[in-house]
Amino acid sequence: MALAIMIPQISILANAIFLGNYTSTDGLIEGKNVLAVVGVAGIFYLVFAMTLFGLASGMLMLMSRQAGDNNHKGVGVYYSNGMILGLFFSLLLLVFSYFFAPYFFSWTLEDNLIETLAVQFMNIRIWGLPFIFIAHLGNMLFVSTNNTKLMLYGTLGQTIVQILLDYVLIYGHWGCAEMGIEGAAWASVAAEFTFFMVVYGLIYFMPRFKVYAINIFRSFDMALIKESFVKSSPLMMQFMISIGSWEVFFIYIEHLGENELAASHILRSVYGMVGIFVWALANTANSMVSNIYAQKRFDDIIPLIKRIVIMSLSYAAIISIIILTFSDYFLSFYTSDTQVLALASTTLITVVIASLLFSVSTIYFNSLLGMGKTKRNLVYELIVIVAYLIYCTIVIEQLRLPLWVAWSSEFVYWIFILSLCANYIHSKKWVY
């Protein structure tokens, strides 16, 4: 799973490097312009993508329960109906975003160039939603059935297509027209389509998945779809609120200035680097806790969580030390703009410390998900988001404090999440 997450992070890194070093032939658009746009529009897309990922994660919990009971056909039925539910929501979100995005950017952004480019980017980028959901749901099937090695193939195909098309379409190589940020959007959609094709092909053609009797449209079961939605909707809402609050953060940063926004998009990739193994361990915690919870092996859960936390924190610490040691070299890949680099450099230590908190908090949060406590997760998320947005509004929007202070809002978020989730888990009130 770590390798499967690392591979697309390479494509995200390459995408940011291509865009950060891009200048249009007419000289009107520079690298920091497109970095700023991806900072805002990319998070906007992520709100919808992660909402669907919340549905896929909810299905992981349900499929892992069936796997824990050794019910192969149950796994297949949940997967099939989850596919139907997810395709419906992905198309609904696609249509909503397509018409809503222009108004949203017009209301919230102050820079006219960033607003125009953000709309152009989103009108293309949003078409990847159905493909990325199907791919994520397939990966959740791989996790729940202990076929995690298969996750590599889809993400590898996605990354190769992303990097290749970024190079060709952004700059206009190999006879293609220079498309700039629109080229980056098309490259991302094509990469997600490739991801979907590989994952779905593996499930459809590999003999090992025949035992699950997957038959998407013939397995339609309204009662099961309703159950899946009820179980997954708090998680979907949680991801929407969580990433939505980060969109508010980036909009506030845009109000500080274009350089601050461009630097923040670079810093966001630090989370991606640290998150490679952390997210893999978080999914592992979700699946394993769900599995042994279904077996009523309650005494094994907290020791398991502790071991995963130690692994996650150790990994995050090692990566953080490497990033800080080679920070100048690392940041220079993204852009040559000295103002953007200076802002990113002074804020990097704040982001690195926040990533250490993230490495622990997200394990506890996903362990709570594995117990099936999705409503409690949602309540905790709402409490934390209120505190987070209050902090961001005062510190960034009203006081307009420096960028490193703005990014300290991550401390507020992860400390609150950790306090709430860890307190509940160690109380053992969940034992029945």
* Residues counted in the chain: 432
Band the pLDDT of 390: cuts 50, 70, 90: very high
Please, is 25 exposed, middle or buried when counting C-beta atoms within 10 Å of its C-beta (0-12, 13-18, 19+)?
exposed
What is the mean pLDDT of the segment spanning 25-51? 77
Please give the Cα distance from 243 to 249 (Å, whole number).
10
Chain CA centroid to CA 122, Å: 17
Mean pLDDT, the chain, rounded, equals: 84
Reported as a single tens digit per residue, the pLDDT across 100-126 is 888 888 888 888 888 888 888 889 989
**pLDDT score recorded for residue 13:** 66
Q: Helices 112-125 and 72-108, interaxial angle, to 10°?
A: 160
Q: Which one, of 415, 40, 59, lies nearest residue 235 by Cα? A: 59
User: At residue 7, does pLDDT exceed 80?
Assistant: no
Q: 83 pLDDT exceeds 90?
A: no
Q: Report which of residues 398 and 3 the model is more confident about.
A: 398
pTM: 0.80
Six-digit token pair at 102? 């222009």
Q: What are phi and psi of 257, to 5 degrees?
A: 150, 160
Cβ contacts of 17 within 8 Å, gap of 6 or more: 333, 334
**351 or 270, greater pLDDT:** 351
The C-alpha atoms of residue 2 and residue 9 are separated, in whole angstroms, by: 11
At 111, is the secondary structure helix, strand, or coil? Answer: coil
Measured distance CA(51)–CA(93) in Å, rounded: 9
* HEC secondary structure over 373-411: CHHHHHHHHHHHHHHHHHHHHHHHHHCCCCHHHHHCHHH
- CA nearest to 48, candidates 109, 131, 151: 131
Least confident stretch, 104-113, 223-232, 252-261, 349-358: 223-232
pLDDT band at 64 (very low <50, low <70, confident <90, very high): confident
Which among 140-144, 286-290, 382-386 has the top mean pLDDT? 382-386
Higher pLDDT, 235 or 197: 197
Higher pLDDT, 275 or 363: 363
* Half-sphere exposure at residue 298, Cβ-oriented, CA atoms within 13 angstroms: 9
Structure confidence at residue 259 (pLDDT) = 87
Tell me the torsion sign for CA atoms 429, 430, 431, 432. Answer: positive
2 pLDDT tier (thresholds 50, 70, 90)? low
